[in-house]
Amino acid sequence: MRLLLHVFLIHSMVFLASTTTQADEQPTAAEHFEFFEREVRPLLVQHCYECHSTQSKRVEANLLLDSRASHLHGGDSGAAIVPGDAHESLLIDAVHYDSYEMPPKGKLSDQDIQTLVRWIEIGAPWPDEPAPVAHSTQDDFDLEKRKTNFWAWQPMATLDPPTVQNIEWPNNDIDLFILSQLEQAHIKPSQDAEQTAILRRLYFDLIGLPPTTDEVKAFIQNKNPQATEHVVNQLLESPHFGERWGRHWLDIVRYAESRGHEFDNDTPNAFQYRDYVIRALNADIPYDQFVREHIAGDLLANPRLHPKEHFNESVLGTGFWFLGEWVHSPVDIRKDEADRFDNMIDVFSKTFLGVTVACARCHDHKYDAISTADYYSLSGFLQSSDYRQVRFESMEQNRKTATELAEINTTHQRQIHTLLESSGIRAPDNAPELTDDCILFNYSDLPHDDFLQDGFIFGLSPRRAGEPYLNNDTGQLKISTFGAAVNDPFWNGLESITEGSIQNQSVLTKIPKSGRTLRSPTFELKDGDVHCLVDGAGHILACVDSHRLVAGPLHQKTVVRFKKGQRWVRLNLDRYVGHRVHLEFIPEANKQIAVRLAVQGLSKNELATFEERINEGNRKYEEYAKTAEAILNNDTQTETDLSPRDIASSWKGEREQLASQIVRTSRLALSMMDGTGEDDRILIRGNSAKPGQIEPRHFLTAISGDKPLAIKKGSGRLQLAELVNDPTNPLTSRVIVNRIWHHLMGRGIVPTTDDFGFLGQRPTHPHLLDHLATRFLQEGRSIKSTIKYIVLSRTYQMSSHANQRAQELDPSNLLWHHCPP
């Protein structure tokens, strides 16, 4: 009877460690189910369900395709699929148009067909779910019920360690949790591993290298009870620690140094992210800081600086967003953007939260408390952000210099206004704002929060009409006659340090953009004719759906070069009408440009009439400038203490002195930057050609509710980072301590480390998981502290050889009665 009880306990543990649809001996089933939900079901819903589902008005050929059983049963022509054999499956014949031609409205793409082939070849996995009911209109997605009934969404439990009978065995509280369940199952833990085995285990797990012969001898001869702890401390301080554990992290965020797809082009400067990860892990920065730097490291008011070289470390973390596959010249740009965002959301949610948010792209998650609205709310954070190659070595010093320059400019501009007013010369009232629908953006009245640039060369805001400035070449005081974004020659001479080479250089890679780019607000293109009023020499780049398109047969009109002089520059963007677009303006090296405004949809005659209206509004500023400059540059005596010559001399001297502080050379790294704050639209069934309602940006509803975030400007990624890091978030701490346990013990407490959802496996020791997560928070979210805590446990130091009885009762070692080999 007692033996039967023991067997029952073991079988109970097996049940807890498995989902209702996935047994422990099938470790890849969760991945297969995720592949089905993300790739296969959306195809079936979009292309097959209209005629072949229980919701169809008329089921064609008596064939249903909305359950695995219906695929196997088939219709008038027989079974639709033969699991494991795509070649013999009628479904594949039909989509190839070999016999039948399905779907009748148009053949699937080769990529979609290969998705179906792969699904059948791996056995046509389909999660266990109730059979669909004919013509059911009931919405079975109950987010609150799913949240309430599933362990992962529950708050972390704070429990005292359990009591055990063998009080001599545990080294720390981890052992109490492990031993308690072993004793309940009447299983004894394995013996301690030999000293040499423990030492080799520590070396390989912590730094990925074996101990030397001398290190083994020294450890064996050291009789100090703290000898193991001393070795652990030594290994945690080794520079190889970051290299070893950095590889674990880089695998999670799909690190690669090329972009895959057809040409597998290099990802410029991706290695800077790799090196950042290694340094961060070696420094043991708190995990919440690590998370914050990944999600919004470019937005931190006080970024973390390298201790010796003093460059911005935090901004480098955002490079992880852009490590996925990129198509260099997509045909369907909006779909490509949706696919890129999908990859970003998938990696973000699995990495930090351990949930498969990407499964909600086309429909509410079939099993977890994640809605389609949640998915597109997260997409909005990405829609409001942008890619760049950041000058990370110089950005903090130059940010400080830019702020000081703005203060110097403001001080002398006030002096000039005071001087002019003492002479009876006042700036005219602002000209009436142009409010025509054709205007895309106008730098004469652009709000400060919408002024975007990569770098600082355009100042902290546009130059307004009537604003005094110092001519950099002549040293004369001038008055601006129109509002524009103007780059300051103060910043001339910026250079980028290139390490290595870039394959297949395009026009875009040859334009010196980094730190020198003015970015317009994002707008919806309603007419393909776009005209920009500029003065100077440089390039205009149209970024369509966040994609900087390679100039070639498809997109040769997205990059335009303009020559010196004031002119309207035309961009022919007819093929992108209806898309989101922003423009980037890049001056030629050491040249000055002024960008005034952009309009769309005006004919040549309408443009001339519009320009006359602009000039009419600026004429009073031209008159004001003529009168004011006569006083300023003739050194006319005024009633103030400062003469124009004094102001100009002081202004020039202060600028020259400040210019010596500019860091003009810098290495580059891929990173994120804020763009125009936007909420994304829900795509009906995930189809980029069918946008639905706008979904405001918010975090996962199951964690923080669906109330939109109060985002004053920009993307809101910093607020998102704080929600991910919130101590009450039940996922973030559990996920990272589970990953650490997985890398040390060979299997996570939750074996599916990327999926804490319904299709993932259940925790074998839920109280231990919460104990580790709670301790992690209390210990300052230190990864090294958690590693040390685990490796000093008796559990970690057990032999990898199981005793016979334990092996019989728990053959999968779910209870950890021995250390995995």
Q: Residue 723 contacts by C-beta under 8 Å, 6 or more apart in sequence?
A: 699, 703, 704, 729
Q: How confident is the model at residue 133 (pLDDT cuts 50, 70, 90)?
A: low
Q: According to the model, what pLDDT value does residue 18 have?
A: 38
Q: According to the model, what pLDDT value does residue 637 have?
A: 59
pLDDT in tens, 673-715: 999 999 999 999 899 989 999 999 999 999 999 889 999 899 9
Q: How confident is the model at residue 9 (pLDDT cuts 50, 70, 90)?
A: very low
Q: According to the model, what pLDDT value does residue 20 have?
A: 36
Angle between helices 783-791 and 732-745 (to 10 degrees): 40
Q: How confident is the model at residue 72 (pLDDT cuts 50, 70, 90)?
A: confident
pLDDT in tens, 769-817: 999 999 999 999 999 999 999 999 999 999 999 999 999 999 999 999 9
Average pLDDT over residues 607-630: 92
| Alpha-carbon span 37 to 359, nearest angstrom | 6
Structure-block tokens of residue 30: 């969760």
Average pLDDT over residues 275-296: 99
| Alpha-carbon span 367 to 354, nearest angstrom | 14
Position 321, amino acid: W
Q: How confident is the model at residue 27 (pLDDT cuts 50, 70, 90)?
A: very low
Q: How confident is the model at residue 139 (pLDDT cuts 50, 70, 90)?
A: low
pLDDT value at 593 more than 90: yes
pLDDT value at 5 more than 70: no
Average pLDDT over residues 740-760: 97
Per-chain mean pLDDT for the chain: 90
The DSSP bridge partners found for residue 560 are 540
Q: Burial code of 464-498, b = ≥16 C-beta within 10 A, e = fewer?
A: bbbbbbbeeeeeebbbbbbbbbbbbbbbbebebee
pLDDT in tens, 420-448: 998 889 988 877 778 889 999 999 999 88
pTM: 0.88
Q: What share of the chain is helix, strand, coil (3-state, %, to 5)?
A: 40, 15, 45
Q: According to the model, what pLDDT value does residue 276 have?
A: 99
| Alpha-carbon span 692 to 695, nearest angstrom | 9
